[in-house]
């Protein structure tokens, strides 16, 4: 005697709203494929508030026999994506778009159709992964929206083939911008704000592995509150941002850096070797992390840089800075600029350097310069051996956590 199968389709028993939420975690092509499950599922994907598209997806979409009613086998990529967009429930607001532009050239009409649709439906968040190494210049229509508040643009190509952004961003509602592996080359260097001067509400800017082609106009903006520049390349750089609160510059290669940020409260500056660092108007600066590996001939310039942080309360320095500062003749006679200091931490940056001592001490003449005006500040100093052991323990903890999962 055969047993009756009493198991229910639990997924189909869920509400449409919950299924839409689940489908939102898939890309658009995968979501569309669910329309073949049953008549109930045929239209659910049309209410997803997110679009996750790649130019590769639509090349093969018409191969699925279940979509003959939606797509004709003779349609090209542009026709197929047009049908997808026109099939969406336009009463559902489009909250985000993720678009992958494939390698070996792209169909500009395809990309423009998708982006225009998103902008016309007031998209708030957009992520573009640009893997096309056949077209160097990025079209300016990608950066023209009055609704977009969060933009991520990643150039997924070799560094020497970085895509170029040559026109200014026309994104007045933008608050967060992340750019990776792109070249910023403003065609109009006379514009005082460079490519960002029309982003009137931009608060958080992150530049990762970017090349700045118009160095004199790197950043001039009145509204930024947080700026991160990591692994970038510039020759001369001006950062003029009156309302900037947090600035992070890590592993950038350059010759000259000038900063004007009178409201800056937190600064992290980490580079492999000494770089010219000029800053004015740092009266609000309370927290500084300062790492570099200067040479002996840079010692006086290092002391001059430290004197610019005179209002700091929490100061973290690279051990290499302490080592070089000891070469300055008469450093013990210099008045300590840090009369508000409450904590001083010292970490080595170059862990590969040999160090025979177990406990690192600040040379007396340098200690007077750093702590003479704040003798009660707490001091924490870490040797290279201690940091190596700490890193090893942290790595072991991560590995153990993975095994437990």
Residue 293 inside a domain? The answer is yes
pLDDT band at 379 (very low <50, low <70, confident <90, very high): very high
Mean per-residue pLDDT of the chain: 77
Q: What is the pLDDT of residue 71?
A: 35
Query: Does some domain include residue 316?
Result: yes
Residue 124 lies in a domain: no
Average pLDDT on 40-59 reads 70
Number of neighbours of residue 271 by Cβ within 10 angstroms? 21
Query: By residue range, what is the domain housing residue 357?
Result: 281-405
pLDDT at residue 93 greater than cutoff 50: yes
- Assigned domain for 296 exists: yes
- Residue pair 276/257 in contact by the 8 Å Cβ criterion: yes
Amino acid 240: pLDDT: 78
Express each pLDDT in 275-334 by its tens digit: 777 887 788 999 999 998 888 888 898 898 899 899 999 999 988 898 888 888 888 888
CA torsion, points 190, 193, 199, 202, in degrees to nearest 10? 170
Question: What single-letter DSSP state applies at residue 278?
Answer: E
Query: Which comes out higher in pLDDT, residue 118 or 73?
Result: 118
Q: Is residue 383 part of a domain?
A: yes
Mean pLDDT in residue range 218-237:
76
Q: What's the pLDDT tens digit per position in 171-202?
A: 999 999 999 998 887 655 545 556 787 888 99
204-210 long-range contacts, Cβ below 8 Å, gap at least 24?
A: 204/175, 204/176, 204/177, 205/177, 206/177, 206/178, 206/179, 206/230, 207/179, 207/232, 208/178, 208/179, 208/180, 208/181, 208/232, 209/159, 209/180, 209/181, 210/179, 210/180, 210/181, 210/182, 210/183, 210/184
333: in domain: yes
237, part of any domain: no
pLDDT for residue 66 is more than 60 = no
**Mean pLDDT to the nearest integer, 374-386:** 87
Domain count, the chain: 1
CA 229 to CA 209: how far, in whole Å?
Answer: 8
Q: Please indicate, yes or no, if residue 310 is contained in any of the structural domains.
A: yes
For residue 344, which phi and psi values (nearest 5 degrees)?
-130, 125
């Amino acid at each position: 005697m055969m047993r009756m199968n009493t198991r229910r389709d639990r997924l189909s028993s869920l509400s449409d709203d919950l299924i839409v939420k689940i489908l939102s975690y898939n890309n658009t092509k995968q979501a569309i494929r669910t329309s073949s499950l049953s008549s109930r599922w045929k239209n659910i994907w049309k209410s997803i508030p997110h679009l996750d598209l790649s130019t590769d997806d639509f090349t093969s979409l018409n191969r699925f026999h279940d979509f003959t009613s939606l797509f004709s086998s003779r349609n090209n990529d542009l026709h197929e994506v047009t049908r997808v967009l026109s099939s969406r429930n336009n009463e559902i607001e489009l909250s985000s778009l993720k678009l992958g532009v494939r390698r070996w050239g792209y169909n500009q009409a395809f990309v423009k159709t998708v982006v225009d649709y998103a902008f016309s439906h007031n998209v708030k968040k957009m992520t573009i992964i640009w893997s096309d190494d056949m077209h160097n210049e990025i079209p300016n229509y990608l950066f023209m929206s009055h609704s977009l508040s969060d933009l991520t643009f990643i150039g997924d190509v070799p560094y020497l083939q970085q895509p170029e952004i040559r026109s200014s961003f026309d994104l007045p509602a933008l608050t967060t911008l992340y750019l990776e592996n792109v070249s910023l080359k403003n065609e109009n260097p006379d514009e005082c704000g460079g490519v960002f001067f029309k982003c009137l509400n931009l608060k958080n800017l992150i530049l990762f592995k970017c090349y700045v082609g118009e160095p004199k106009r790197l950043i001039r903006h009145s509204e930024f509150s947080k700026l991160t520049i990591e692994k970038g390349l510039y020759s001369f750089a001006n950062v003029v941002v009156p309302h900037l609160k947090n600035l992070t510059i890590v592993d950038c290669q350059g010759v000259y850096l000038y900063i004007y940020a009178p409201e800056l409260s937190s600064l992290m500056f980490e580079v492999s070797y000494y770089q010219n660092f000029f800053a004015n108007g740092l009266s609000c600066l309370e927290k500084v992390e300062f790492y570099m590996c200067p040479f002996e001939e840079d010692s006086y310039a290092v002391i001059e840089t430290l004197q610019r942080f005179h209002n700091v309360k929490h100061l973290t320095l690279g051990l290499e800075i302490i080592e070089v500062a000891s070469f300055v003749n008469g450093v013990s006679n210099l008045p300590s600029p840090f009369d508000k200091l409450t904590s001083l931490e010292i970490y080595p940056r170059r862990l590969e350097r040999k160090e025979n001592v177990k406990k690192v001490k600040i040379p007396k003449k340098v200690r007077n310069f750093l702590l003479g005006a704040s003798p009660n500040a707490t001091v924490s100093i870490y040797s290279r051996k201690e940091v190596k052991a700490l890193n090893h323990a942290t790595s072991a903890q991560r590995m153990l956590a993975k095994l437990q999962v």
